[in-house]
Amino acid sequence: MRHNVRRIGSSRGFTLIELLVVIAIIAVLIALLLPAVQQAREAARRSQCSNNLKQIGLALHNYHDTYNTLPPGNVHKWGNQNVAALAAWGWHSLILPQLEQGTLFNAMGVNQNDLDTVLRDPLVQNLPKTNINVYRCPSDTAPALNSKREYDTPYSAAFGGQPVHLGTANYIAVSGTRWSTPEDWIVNQIDPHGTFWGDSRINFAAVSDGLSNTFVVGERNWKFGWAANWPGQRNYTGTGIWGSRQNLAILDIKINDPLLQPNGNPANSRSFSSEHVGGAQFLFGDGRVKFLSENIDFNAASYNATPAPATLGVFQRLGRRDDALPVSDY
């Protein structure tokens, strides 16, 4: 009797060599795809950064509609003659209601209290440490609290003797082609020719070069520029310039220039920089956002002098509101 025998096909697994080949192919594919993935992520982050600046631009326009002026770069504490080291609200804080942050604005009492007072009050002193997403570039690596910008004495005692670090911001307003302290402006009428400085009250009519030809806010990163604070600044009536760097910028340094001062501090801590390759994004007065190359035409200008407009590069002319000079393609 013959029996039908059913043959069962034998299956063979991968050999070690075949497995290694497959792994190598996968690794090559990942290596090829990773830059594209990283570029896509950076493109998304850059788009979000641009959207942040557009929201800030809309808030500035809404503020201007209400008060017929842009907010001051910072608010001078009137009536106190010994305020050189005290904290003052900056322009970021003043437009919080226009950025749907009215609850925080009211809780800090920006219209009633000085930042100096708030940082001494245990009930509200932590509010200026709030992380505000619209003030942060998603490409930047800065921590939520700016540990490179300290508000120490007299505030450290209220925080258990620890240095006081406030909420980080990556967007800073344009002071112009020189610093101007409140004394410079109030007493001597020294105009830095930007749009924001101590107790400034610049309205759109004063931007005689045109809102579409003048940028008013730009980026500053953590790596080169120590970023910024959103609540405000210190030393705002002193002769020093360190306080103004905490939320303002001037135009004497190229974009993304990692220049160091003799004491090792980055001079770019008063300038513009970003984590976006090749330049930084800027908000113009008409509300548009444009990426400016770090190679844009530039001529150095001293931060403690008022240079003649004709000596300035395109970059500086774009940051001045009233130089009355045309700008070439940029």
Could you read off the pLDDT of 157-204 as tens digits, one per residue?
888 888 889 999 999 999 998 877 666 766 677 889 999 988 899 999
Q: Which residues does residue 282 pair with via DSSP β-bridges, in sequence order?
A: 218, 290
What's the pTM?
A: 0.85
Three-state DSSP class for 279? strand
Three-state DSSP class for 164? strand
> Which residues make Cβ contacts (< 8 Å) with residue 256, sequence separation at least 6?
224, 268, 272, 273, 274, 279, 280, 294
Mean pLDDT for 28-48 is 77
Query: Which one has a higher pLDDT value, 3 or 67?
Result: 67
Q: Has residue 326 got a pLDDT over 50? A: yes
Strands (E), the chain: 88-89, 145-151, 164-169, 171-176, 215-219, 228-229, 232-233, 248-250, 279-284, 289-293
Tell me the C-alpha distance between 50 and 288, whole Å.
9
- The predicted pLDDT at position 149 comes to 87
Nearest to 91 by CA among 235, 218, 197, 181: 197
8-12, 137-141, 256-260: range with lowest mean pLDDT: 8-12
Per-residue pLDDT tens for 246-294? 999 999 899 999 877 666 667 778 899 999 999 999 999 999 999 999 9
Three-state DSSP class for 140? coil
Is residue 35 within a helix (H) or strand (E), and if so which, with residue range? helix 16-67
- The predicted pLDDT at position 232 comes to 93
Mean pLDDT for 42-70 is 96
Residues 75, 94 contacting (CB under 8 angstroms): yes
Query: Which one has a higher pLDDT value, 215 or 117?
Result: 215
Tell me the C-alpha distance between 307 and 300, whole Å.
10
- The predicted pLDDT at position 290 comes to 97
Nearest to 242 by CA among 149, 143, 176, 174: 149
User: Look-up: residue for tokens 């045109």?
Assistant: 210
Strands (E), 177-299: 215-219, 228-229, 232-233, 248-250, 279-284, 289-293
Q: Which backbone phi and psi does 240 adopt, to 5 degrees?
A: -70, 165
- The predicted pLDDT at position 308 comes to 82
Q: Which backbone phi and psi does 54 adopt, to 5 degrees?
A: -65, -40
Per-residue pLDDT tens for 90-110? 999 999 999 999 999 999 999
